Chain A
């Protein structure tokens, strides 16, 4: 009888059409405009760096999982995401072997040792960057260059094109900031400035972000609360908020790193608190810290706070509108 072959599984018997590999692949797609912008502004070394990141991450995941006789999960695209992000948060002219090792650290230590996809506490790409900058600080923090296209540009008058300082570094050093910052808005928006490989072009990042929003993979809660908080705190301190929003890794961090599912709070209220926390920390580091930029460390610190946020910040239940008499 045909019946004996019937499948009995628990409800629901319909499933949505978005699965985890699709999600991760969409993040890769969303990162591509910023990668292309990075290669456009910083040249072939940037492309090599991106390849090194992906090779390091995917290779590490494959090798470690083979060695530990676990199922190989490189097909879920998540290692590709980490690989691209690692290259994107490092300077464009950093030696490729550093990018590879950062990827191996991110996947091997930060992701797989904690249990693999879904179990890591810290954002693997940012932890990989933190590792690289701590281990080879001279090499990993001097690879910043100004795009060749900015030379001779009117807005760049008074800037020493040979220096490798990013706009935020120059601000920290007091080289800029005395006068109006508005001349930097357009280069920062387009990406025609020194910075990490994938962080400079706000335009390219926003194109990717719009794609993720359209696909409903991310919401605006974390990015907006993060960005608005940075703008408000820096404005209160008397600095140009728009300069702060557009410079450094804020747009990249807010839309692609702070929104990392695994390492951000699971409910709406928690996500807004997380974003505000990232924003306050970033602004404080930029304004008062020893580093010119604080996006990476802010997100990593807030990652550590996620279990606590999930514990204490709970959504209001359906029907729980007011206390009933």
Chain B
């Protein structure tokens, strides 16, 4: 009798707990906010990575964001070898670039980039031999290297974050002296719809993912790593788990499946989902003891240490309704997008939009004849019908953007401040916290360009801060 009573009460209390959790909390491996857009990954998710055809030219951009322009080390007419360093940054922040092919430099000068801007670049015509430069030798005796030496090798190999932002990896790995970091997090979420480049790397080269992870662990001096993968890629989780159990000693590498939920691949959200740690606004992951790197970056590190290759190739998912034969391609970085599309059977129908990256954060390019970069994870071609945009309607304050914002901001209000040019208001409403994931615009029933307005506000706030600093300096 008493037992029944106790059991009943336990049952009531725990079911209340479940109800409370259902109402207020989220399942493990997730966060509040975000969306689940159509994944559109099935057309390429099961396709093995294929090697790219020899490009007719490669265009190596000399600018990786305004902060680190590179200067060319070669001139028109020079012969270059595959893997040869051809451009070097001025400061310690940037990373060098290497020739993805052996061949002849046909031009050093202005080209049009995917952003529509004109930029400096080295154009190389391949000789088809792919003769490797002598500098491309595997790193021996990794165990004997210091952390600083390892980080320097990674920098010299031109390795940057390959999720799209192209943030130099060595900068992430170089921690402030007082930082206490205990975990390396490898980002295998690949939460952008359509993209399957990281997915295929995890399935086909799990050993290299784990190997790169272990090298990165050593470079930052931690003995624990977590690989976070969205649970729509069970084959990747399984492959990685097998690889981690087979891997020789080198610290604990744990594979964690997280909920398939955009923007799971935002580093702060993946830290929350996998480790349960909260990165405070304005802080970087190392403030909670974590360094985050992408799957592609881990593979690039393994390629450099084990095969001697600098970052000259990457996997790109060429996909979308406007491509005849969607594929995952291992391409030479700098290959014009149009050549990759042609390798995929060309356009299907009338292309309306070509996007570098995924549909949520990627940039629409003005022409297909623009070079790919180290950050080009996808080339998404949408046909004309899918590309149609609608006129925005007035904001009805429905709050869907607020509900969806994974940073828990109020995009509708930020948009209002941005449109009115009230930059200090936008700053007070934490515009700078915005991770530009695009959930607000996706959710908006009035089709307003919310994230665009917030990006604009961020740029204005940044410019005003810089101006204020300069005034202060004088």
Contacts and interface: CB of A to CB of B under 8 A. Distances in A.
Interface of A: 1-16, 18-20, 22-23, 76, 78, 116-119, 217, 219, 261-262, 264, 266-268, 271, 310, 314-322, 324
A23 B413 contact: no
Interface stretch (B51-59, B183-191, B355-363): B355-363
A311 B105 CA distance: 59
A12 B281 contact: no
A9 B361 contact: no
Contacts, number: 173
7 tightest A-B CB contacts, nearest first: A12-B438, A118-B394, A10-B452, A3-B367, A261-B398, A13-B359, A14-B359
A117 B351 CA distance: 35
A317 B430 contact: yes
Contacts of B365: 6, 8
A4 B369 CA distance: 11
A19 B447 contact: yes
B107 interface: no
Contacts of A117: 393-394, 396
Given A116-B394, A261-B397, A267-B399, 6 more contacts: A8-B116, A14-B442, A266-B410, A315-B409, A318-B278, A321-B278
B27 to A, nearest CB: 17
Interface stretch (B29-37, B155-163, B296-304): B29-37
A317 B394 contact: no
B445 A23 contact: yes
A319 B367 contact: no
A314 B368 CA distance: 44
A317 B429 CA distance: 10
B193 interface: yes
A6 B383 CA distance: 10
B219 interface: no
B279 A11 contact: no
Q: How large is the interface on B (under 10, 10 to 19, 20 to 34, 35 or more residues)?
A: 35 or more
B402 to A, nearest CB: 5
Contacts of B413: 266, 310
B433 interface: yes
Contacts of A14: 37-38, 193, 359-360, 442
Interface of B: 31-33, 35, 37-38, 116, 193, 268-269, 272, 278-281, 283, 287, 347, 350-355, 359-369, 380, 382, 387, 389-390, 393-400, 402-403, 406-410, 412-413, 429-430, 433, 436, 438, 441-447, 449, 451-452, 455
Nearest to B446: A20
B445 A11 contact: no
A15 B391 CA distance: 13
Nearest to A119: B394
Nearest to A1: B367
A322 B277 CA distance: 11
Contacts of A322: 278
Contacts of B452: 10-11
20 contacts: A1-B367, A6-B353, A6-B366, A7-B389, A8-B353, A10-B452, A11-B441, A13-B359, A13-B387, A14-B442, A18-B445, A20-B445, A117-B393, A261-B397, A262-B396, A267-B399, A310-B413, A315-B408, A315-B409, A324-B280
Among B33, B116, B347, B364, max chain A CB count under 10 A is at B364
B30 to A, nearest CB: 13
B427 to A, nearest CB: 13
Nearest to A15: B442
A324 B277 CA distance: 12
A5 B430 CA distance: 37
Contacts of B116: 8
Nearest to A115: B394
A258 B382 CA distance: 41
B35 A7 contact: no
B395 A118 contact: yes
A285 to B, nearest CB: 26
Nearest to A116: B394
Contacts of A18: 400, 445
A197 to B, nearest CB: 25
Contact of A267 (B362, B402, B446): B402
A118 B396 contact: yes
A320 B398 CA distance: 24
B402 A7 contact: no
Contacts of A16: 35, 37, 442-445
Contacts of A318: 31-33, 268-269, 272, 278, 281, 406-408, 433
A6 B369 CA distance: 12
Contacts of A264: 397
A74 to B, nearest CB: 13
B281 A319 contact: yes
A78 B382 CA distance: 33
A317 B281 contact: yes
A267 B397 CA distance: 10
A13 B355 contact: yes
A128 B201 CA distance: 62
Contacts of A217: 398
A259 B442 CA distance: 22
Nearest to B347: A2
A85 B317 CA distance: 51
B433 A317 contact: yes
B410 A15 contact: no
A315 B445 contact: no
Contact of A6 (B269, B367, B441, B446): B367
A319 B359 contact: no
Contact of B362 (A13, A15, A78): A13
A130 B5 CA distance: 55
